[in-house]
Amino acid sequence: MVINHHGLLHGFVVGLAVISTGVWICRQAPRVRADNTPQIIASYKIGVELKFDEKQRPVHLEGREQLLWFNNSPDPINELQFHLYLNAFKNEKSTFFKESGGQLRGESFQPGEWGWIDVNELRIAGGEDLTSKIEFIHPDDDNADDQTVIRVPLAQPLDPGQKISLDLKFTARLPRVFARTGYWGQFALVGQWFPKIGVWESTGERRRTTPAWNCHQFHANSEFYADFGNYEVSMTVPAIYRGKIGATGKLESEQVNQDGTVTYKFNQANVHDFAWTVDPHYLVVTRPFKADQHVKPSEIEEWSRRLGLPQDQIRLRDFSVTLLIQPEHRSQIDRHFAAAFNGIKYFGLWYGKYPYDTLTIVDPPYNADGASGMEYPTFITAGTSWWPGHDQNPEEVVVHEFGHQYWQGMVASNEFEESWLDEGFNTYSTAKALKTAYGPNVVPFNLLGVTWFDLPIEIPHPYEDRILTLRGEFNDPILTPAWKFYDVTNYFLNSYARTGLVMNTLERYLGEDLMARVMREYHQKWRYRHPASQDFFETVNAVARQDLSWFFDQFVKETKTLDYEVAKVESRRTGTAIGIFDRDGEKAEVKEERKAQSGQSYETDVVLRRVGDAYFPVELLLRFQDGNKIIAKPAAPRDALIEYQFEDTRTGRKWNDSWAIKDRWKKFKFTTTSELQLVQLDPGDKVLLDANLTNNSKALAETGLGATVRWSSEMMFWLQNLLQAIGGLG
Ligand SMILES: [Zn+2]
């Protein structure tokens, strides 16, 4: 999902076999696999009819669903659990409603425009009718009125390796769209719309210690989680939607029925969700992504080299991209395709080729902003008008939503419990793709009504993430279940911007190529699987060949602030001191004039202070009047110490000193032949998590260098003030 910037950051923003007996034995590979071929757990065959109400609004859904579910765990399973997401919009007593107050991403619910879903029938295929055994449960809170999760006990446990086939009938009403799904006018975005089975997690999966269903209620601040499967969905829609439909997967057939309705069939294998849309106004444009046209041989070579992989593992594949766009945005068709092709290219080169045969991009109408900026497998919603009154940035939203094909579409982390693994990783990857494709001036976010997408000056940092991150007061660590954050701002800032800063800081700490290998390895290892945060940490440690627990503990699992400052600097000439000295048995006085002439060297004290609670091996640079430099490189924290290696660039002399992690300050002493001019912490701008950059340097003399440092400090000071001003408004 994209966060929206309204009023300031309310977010910124198959084959499916159904057999007669329903249950059968089928021993298959264990749940954790060595390769990354998809594990097919939950496959759906759905036939649904979309009907108008008396006002010609596309609100009614009537569906039949055949679910084939595979117990590939070692556990006998006594009950099934399902999501009924649309009941989040049923009344003011749903958990979603209570948490959101009927608002999401700046969009408001319209009273009277409720949405809901009923399961009318649920039976084992050719067997027991389970309908009367359905009961609502609320695993996340004490809200007995929430109806977004059901449980169905099984008379016979489903043994390891068995499959169960279920037949369901359901009726639903779409809400007026304000939170991803619903209708507006004759437009409909049909998402989270069918009874959907939860994820059975056995011991060890996502690091859990006891096996259980993972089937969370629908919350205001959270997205989704599901198993992979094959989808075969046919939608029957009123005649006005003929040729004006888009969906997950590939269109297999179109059939005009006797009553004038039209039935469309779409299929997609190896995905974990299915969404679709209709709007009689859509312009439908299809263009091919051609790997050998859109990717230069030099780019294949470059990424083959940087990732250390053979070129055939880097090469991308051809497939077709379909855009359903509002006619008034016709002039932006090329920009949408260019953005999609850039996303396909860079995510593909970096993390691995896009494996599906289609990608569908939807441009919801102006009044249906709630449906824009959302991701489903092979199907994304963009939205040129996703910020009302502004008509820009299809690039950002298209690249971001496409990015979710990788972070959560294929690497299917649990968005309820670990939102940083999808939104945050995608914030990091999106900014990188945008900057690579559109140049370094691209800052993909809006601030106070100003689009920073294309600034006339080069921005040296991911400032957008800094600005948003530093605005926040962090009451929760990044690794917090989405619905348990202190408030919506803490959810958004942690899941998106703060993770972006953490990932960019990690990249600058490890180096770009090593980080690229980390991300490639993590994606490939966990494609079509469900990683937990710890799996990412372990991938980083393995690829980087070092233990980075100190980094993740502080910046992902805790709320510690990182801020170092240059607290004091003193540089004085040595060699002589004034006063009375004993020389050759006599007393001699050294006076002020002599001292001034005789100094041969300088003694310099630099006091660094750790202002925040977090520690970090921050580099240090000292510049002297004669142009000499001393560079201090810290090692990774070890044994409660950060060891510094100093090097005098003129003499080549090297020496070590250390700073105990628990100590708030450290004085470093230097003896040099020239007076100190400037001390700078983090001269390479690596530590983007440093909350205050204005205290990172001190200049002793009025020099050009000092002025430069002060200028950039002033810019930061200005940005930080701006930030506080915004905080006041928000
Ligand atoms: Zn997103």
The pLDDT tens digits of the residues spanning 283-342 come to 999 999 999 999 999 999 999 999 999 999 999 999 999 999 999 989 999 999 999 999
Residue 730 confidence (pLDDT)? 28
Compute, in angstroms, the gap from residue 36 CA to the centroid of ligand 1.
24
Tokens of 570: 């003193």
Compute, in angstroms, the gap from residue 13 CA to the centroid of ligand 1.
8
Task: Give the three-state DSSP class for 356.
Answer: coil
Compute, in angstroms, the gap from residue 400 CA to the centroid of ligand 1.
6
Angstrom distances, CA of residue 319 to CA of 228, 294, 379, 398: 21, 12, 14, 17
Residue 9 confidence (pLDDT)? 31
Compute, in angstroms, the gap from residue 645 CA to the centroid of ligand 1.
41
Compute, in angstroms, the gap from residue 401 CA to the centroid of ligand 1.
6
Residue 515 confidence (pLDDT)? 98
Compute, in angstroms, the gap from residue 56 CA to the centroid of ligand 1.
32
Compute, in angstroms, the gap from residue 581 CA to the centroid of ligand 1.
74
Residue 572 confidence (pLDDT)? 84
Compute, in angstroms, the gap from residue 404 CA to the centroid of ligand 1.
7
Cα separation, 238 vs 236, in Å, equals 7
Compute, in angstroms, the gap from residue 492 CA to the centroid of ligand 1.
10
Compute, in angstroms, the gap from residue 317 CA to the centroid of ligand 1.
24
Compute, in angstroms, the gap from residue 425 CA to the centroid of ligand 1.
9
Compute, in angstroms, the gap from residue 421 CA to the centroid of ligand 1.
11
CA angle 378, 381, 386 (to 5 degrees): 160
Ranges of the chain whose pLDDT falls below 70: 2-35, 104-106, 384-392, 440-473, 575-576, 593-599, 701-730
Compute, in angstroms, the gap from residue 648 CA to the centroid of ligand 1.
47
Compute, in angstroms, the gap from residue 496 CA to the centroid of ligand 1.
8
Give me the residue label for tokens 């001699």: 588
Compute, in angstroms, the gap from residue 476 CA to the centroid of ligand 1.
20
Compute, in angstroms, the gap from residue 249 CA to the centroid of ligand 1.
20
Residue 599 confidence (pLDDT)? 57
Residue 716 confidence (pLDDT)? 56
Tokens of 448: 């106070």
- With both helix axes pointing from N to C terminus, report the angle between 512-526 and 499-510 in degrees, rounded to the nearest 10: 120
Compute, in angstroms, the gap from residue 434 CA to the centroid of ligand 1.
15
Compute, in angstroms, the gap from residue 697 CA to the centroid of ligand 1.
36
Residue 707 confidence (pLDDT)? 46
Half-sphere exposure of 630 (CA within 13 A, CB side): 26
Structural contact between residues 394 and 336, judged by C-beta atoms closer than 8 angstroms: yes
Compute, in angstroms, the gap from residue 419 CA to the centroid of ligand 1.
10
Half-sphere exposure of 398 (CA within 13 A, CB side): 31
Which secondary-structure segment (H or E) carries 35?
none
Compute, in angstroms, the gap from residue 1 CA to the centroid of ligand 1.
3
pTM for the model stands at 0.89
Summarize pLDDT for 464-492 with one digit per residue, the tens: 666 666 655 678 999 999 999 998 888 88
Structural contact between residues 704 and 449, judged by C-beta atoms closer than 8 angstroms: no
Compute, in angstroms, the gap from residue 632 CA to the centroid of ligand 1.
39
Residue 108 confidence (pLDDT)? 74
Asked whether the CA dihedral 313, 317, 323, 329 is positive or negative, the reply is positive
Eight-class DSSP state of 664: S
Residue type, 123: R
What are residue 198's phi and psi, to 5 degrees?
Answer: -75, -170
Compute, in angstroms, the gap from residue 621 CA to the centroid of ligand 1.
38
Residue 551 confidence (pLDDT)? 98
Structural contact between residues 115 and 181, judged by C-beta atoms closer than 8 angstroms: yes
